[in-house]
Structure 1
Amino acid sequence: MTKIGIIIGSTRPGRLGAQVAGWVHEVSAQRSDAQFELVDLAEFRLPLFDQAVPPAMGGTGGPETQAWVRAIDTLDGFVFVTPEYNHQLPGALKNAIDFVCAGWANKAAGIVSYGVAGGAGAAAQLRQMCGLLGLADVPAQVSLHLATDFENFTVFAPSESRARSLEELLDRVVAWTAALEPMRSARAASIA
């Protein structure tokens, strides 16, 4: 079965991403067209990217890095749950993305962003990165605003319209992931 990872893109104490990712996981668990799993960056405890040999040239890093790369390799697609810090992608997510090279290719990705402006800046940066990594980012997006989608800016309370937007995003991620499967299979066969 197709496996989609829901990546929590923040490691900051008190982050809201765990609430948002939990909602994405809860909604996705009602589906039968793919298997969805939470992937929490905080659990990997990745160091700051400082490898002398980058992943594109065969660098593998230490045990934490290798566990992260293996986790990404086992997934067929992704839903990134990302906050926006200073109108940009969080450093922890950018750092984690840099540790992986081939594991992103020929997979689909959706973006659920949140912040004061709905995470628009972070989502835009993530889309640019996806293109460069060979990740097909779906056009559907869920943008959550701290003032309207969170009670007192801290407790996530999604509206029904947000749930419909999430369903559309999940539909596209699953469809695009399936469409890219022949490319992933061909690549795997060429490596074997």
Structure 2
Amino acid sequence: MKLNIVICSTRPGRIGPSIGRWFHGAAQAHGGFEAELVDLAAFNLPVFDEPHHPRLRNYQHDHTKAWSASVEAADAFVFVTPEYNFSPPPAFVNALNYLFFEWNHKPASFVSYGGASGGLRAVQMEKLMLTSVKIMPIPEAVAIPMVGLQIDAEKVFTPTEGQAKAAPGMLDELARWAGALKPLRA
């Protein structure tokens, strides 16, 4: 099964790639998925600019076609997401809205980061949004509060012992759901 680990922040100076690289290594060590690190910034998605509703899959732009292929290929998702003003990053919301069927019947979890809440307020909103495109968000996740304390001068992220231990359990559960939902995607 294929896992897309999606870096949801696209802003300059972001730390999402550092956290994404750590989690990608954890997913590779876990072995339950073929893990791919996917950076939303690489798709350069403008504010939704397709002339047709995503349900029609009549994409006109190359950036949408590339994004569609990436999402379609995955059996599960982990969203590496910050919290901006108690909300999801706009790039996440925009990327979600570009597609519909490609998301359907796949599970998702989160590696969230931020200040005191560790990004959990954004995750709660993201879970609600994901259900509208038929994604099953699971409760198991990794939260990183006060993330700045775990990033060094070279922007390398070092997890706490608890975060490192949470990752395999989350991946175990995500693999169970991905396997269980696979017949719905056939």
Report TM bin, short chain: over 0.9
Q: 1:122 offset after TM fit, Å? A: 1.0
Q: Name 2:137's counterpart in structure 1.
A: 137
Contact 1:60 1:66 in 2 (8 A): yes
- In structure 1, list runs of 5 or more residues that go unmatched: 186-192
Q: Name 2:123's counterpart in structure 1.
A: 123
Q: What is the DSSP-based 3-state SS (H/G/I as helix, E as strand, rest coil) of the residue aligned with 2:17?
A: helix
Q: Name 1:190's counterpart in structure 2.
A: none
* In structure 2, C-alpha distance between the alignment counterparts of 1:86 and 1:15, rounded to whole Å: 15
Contact 2:118 2:147 in 1 (8 A): no
Identity across matched positions, percent: 36
Q: Name 1:21's counterpart in structure 2.
A: 20
Paired letter, 2:112: S
Segment of structure 1 superposing worse, 151-160 or 137-146? 151-160
Contact 2:30 2:168 in 1 (8 A): no
Q: 1:155 offset after TM fit, Å? A: 4.7
Cα deviation 1:25-80 (Å, max 9, x = unaligned):
01111123221100111111111113332202344130011100111001111001
Residues 50/147 of structure 1: CA separation in 2 closer, same or farther (3 Å cut): closer
Paired letter, 1:72: V
Contact 2:4 2:37 in 1 (8 A): yes
Q: 1:16 offset after TM fit, Å? A: 0.9
Paired letter, 2:60: G
Q: Name 2:101's counterpart in structure 1.
A: 102
* In structure 2, C-alpha distance between the alignment counterparts of 1:151 and 1:111, rounded to whole Å: 19
The total of aligned residue pairs comes to 184
Q: What is the DSSP-based 3-state SS (H/G/I as helix, E as strand, rest coil) of the residue aligned with 2:87?
A: coil
- In structure 2, list runs of 5 or more residues that go unmatched: none
Task: Spell out structure 1 runs of 4+ moving beyond 3 A.
Answer: 151-155
Q: 1:157 offset after TM fit, Å? A: 2.1
Paired letter, 2:110: I
* In structure 2, C-alpha distance between the alignment counterparts of 1:135 and 1:105, rounded to whole Å: 6
CA RMSD of aligned residues (A): 1.7
Q: Name 1:31's counterpart in structure 2.
A: 30
Cα deviation 1:97-131 (Å, max 9, x = unaligned):
11110011010101111001200121011100111
Segment of structure 1 superposing worse, 45-54 or 170-179? 45-54
Q: Which has the higher strand share?
A: 1
